[in-house]
Structure formats: structure tokens, C-alpha cells
Amino acid sequence: MSLETTGVIHELYDEKQITESFKKREFVLKIEDGKYEQFVLFQMTQDRVDILDKYKKGDSVTVSFNLSGKPYTNKEGETKYFSNLTAWKVQKVETEAPAPVAEEDEENLPF
């Protein structure tokens, strides 16, 4: 399932080599949600971990990601479920420059 959201990078973590053939890098996106802020953990994996090198905390970005979930049964036979938000694209949000303030001609002022 592919989704997209926009927010501000709140945290950027270092790359982690999980196994010999799997690496990931996590980051937290602060997303405005009405009157509440949401802090959502995403991961980038394998050859996409380097995408985050050009971003820093405070950057506004749009993240395209996949949502996946899996069950895990522990030794006691209890099944737990966990979800992953795996980002595959991050794009900086271009903010519009403020419109220039027009200087009024002093000769045309009404006073």
C-alpha cells in the first residue's frame, strides 16, 4: 500500500547495518494533525538510505512510503503485530517566497 504525507523532519538517525545483507536508516517526521502534532517514525532501507544525506532537521518534506504489517508469535504463544512505514521517496517542499512589499510613491499618499 503506497501513501504520501508532508511534514517537518524532527529527527534523523544514523544508518544501521541490521544483517550482512540488510541496512536501514530511520527518521521522524512531525506532521500537523489538527490541533495535535504527530511524530511518525519512518525507515529507508538498502540503497535508499543515502537519500536522507541531503536533508537536515527542520526541513519540510513530502514522503512517499509503503505501509506493511506482520504478525509475530513469541515463545509464550502470544501473537503481536507490528507495522513498518518504509519510505521510498523524499522530496523537499518548496516554500513560496513572500511577495515583495510595494513601496508607495510619497507623492501619491493621501495625507
Question: pTM for the whole thing?
Answer: 0.77
What is the number of other CB atoms lying within 10 angstroms of the CB of residue 95? Answer: 7
Alpha helices (H) along the chain: none
Residue 45: count other Cβ atoms within 10 Å of its Cβ: 16
pLDDT digits (tens, 9 = 90+) for 34-47: 889 999 999 999 99
* Backbone conformation region of residue 106, classed left if phi is above 0, alpha if psi is from -120 to 50, else beta: alpha
CATH of 2-94, one of 1.10.10.60, 3.20.20.70, 1.10.760.10, 2.40.50.140: 2.40.50.140
- Stretch 37-66: mean pLDDT: 96
Give the mean pLDDT of the chain: 89
- Summarised one tens digit per residue, pLDDT across range 94-103 is 876 666 665 5
C-alpha cell of 104? Answer: 508607495
* Cβ contact 52:12 at 8 Å: yes
**Residues 6+ away with beta carbon under 8 Å from 50:** none
**Confidence label for 67 from pLDDT (cuts 50, 70 and 90):** very high
Q: Where are the domains of the chain?
A: 2-94
pLDDT at 99: 61
pLDDT of 94 reads: 82
